[in-house]
Structure 1
C-alpha cells in the first residue's frame, strides 16, 4: 500500500513559527454555586512535531486547558492560536483521545470505528476512508482485528483503536487526555512505547495531559509544569533525549527528582489556598 501523507507534512506552518500558541490564557468554569478559575495566565508554544506534555497534580487545570485547545471552552482572558489563527470552537484539525474506553460505538467494527469520523466529516469517499482506516489500524498493530467489535478487545487494544481513529483524521495537533491512566502498569508502559514508535513513523504533533512524572519524561520532548489552584506555568523542561531505555539512568532520575522538587515546592507554597 502507498504510504499515507503524514500530518506533519501537510499544511505545515512556516518553520520559524510555532504551530500552536497559548498566550496568557485564563480559564474559568461553573461549578455548583461558584465560578472556578482553572488556569491563570498560562503561556506556551508547541512546535510542529513536538510531544508536549502538560504535567501537574489533579486540579491544576491541565485537562481544562486541553479542552480549551480543542475549542470546547473559550478563554476568559488570553488567546489560543493554531497556524497563526485564533481557535473558534472544535475542528478536525484538533482531535482528542480520552481516558475512557467507552468512546467506541460497540455496534461498529474496528475498521468502521476508525473510518466513521472520516465519512461523517464529509469530503472523504468510502474507499478513501477504508484505505486510510486500514493504514492506521495496521500502524497501531491491529490489522488482524479490523473486523472485530470493541467488546472483544482489551482496554489497551481499544485505546489503540482510538489513537488510530484520531490519527486517521490527520489533525494538526493530536490531543491526549491521560489516555493510559486506566491501564495496568505493564500495559501502560507498552502503550507508551507503541506511541513513541508510531510517532517515529508518522511524526504527528502531540499535546498530552498526565499527572505522572515518569510518563511525562518517557513520552515527551517538552514538559510544562503546572502549579495547582489555579494552574500557572511553574517551569518548562526540554528533554529531547529521554527514552524508555534511559528510565533507570542517573540522568533520567535526576530529571524526575528535579520535576518532583519543583512540583512539591509549589504545592507546599500553595497549601491551604483555595481556588481563585
Structure 2
C-alpha cells in the first residue's frame, strides 16, 4: 500500500493581470470624450453666430445702394419731324446722334453758290445753315460731341478757315466769340492757326485750335489752344494755350493733325460729307 502524498504547501495568492483594467479605463474615457464632443457640436450648431457676415455673401436687395445701377443718359424722343430731308444732290453721311434719341443721324453738304451744311435726324427733323465763304476749296465736314456736357458740334473745313456750328434746340447755331462774331478757326491763311482738333481731356473730347509753326521748314513747334463752349453751345471762348511739341518732323502725327480739321478719330473729308462737285 502506497504512502499518500503530502499535501502541497499553499503559496502566496496570485494577482489578476492589470492590463485588462487599463484597457477598460481607456475605452471608457474615449466614450465619454466622444459623447462630450458630440454634445458640443450640437450646441454650436444651434447657437446664433455673432461674427460679421462677409460683404460678399450679404444678399443684395433692390433698395441697397449697391443694387442701384450707374446713372446713364436717358434717350429723348429726338427732334420733331420738320423739313423734307436732305436736298437732291447733297452728299449725305451718317454721323453721331445729335438730338439724344440714341440713333445715328445724317449730315449733308450741298454745292454751288448757295452751299449749305445740314443735319437730318433719325426722327425726321431737317435743319441747315448757309456757308458764307468766298473760299474756292470744296467744303468738308465732321460731326462730333464735345465737352463733359456732350454738345454736338459741326466743323466745316473750307481750306482757308474752319467754321463751327453747334446743334442747339434742333437747329444749327454759330457760336460767337468774345467780340460777338461767329467763331472761326484759322487754317494758315491769317497766321493764327493751322487746324482744329478734339483731344481727350477729363474723360471727354475737348475742342481746340491747333497751330504748327516751323522756323526752318524742317521741324515744327505745335501749340494747342482749348476752345470752351458755353451757354449750351452758343458761345466759344479761348482757354489755355499749351505747347504740345517742339522739334517735331513734318510727318509726325502731332504735326499732320495740327494741319487738319478733325475731332477725335473723325477727319473732315473722310468721315463726313464732302461738298459735291458743281
Tell me the TM-score normalised to structure 1 length. Answer: 0.25
Q: Which structure has more RCO (C-alpha within 8 Å, separation ≥ 6)? A: 1
The structure that is helix-richer by fraction is 1
The structure that is strand-richer by fraction is 2
Tell me the TM-score normalised to structure 2 length. Answer: 0.25
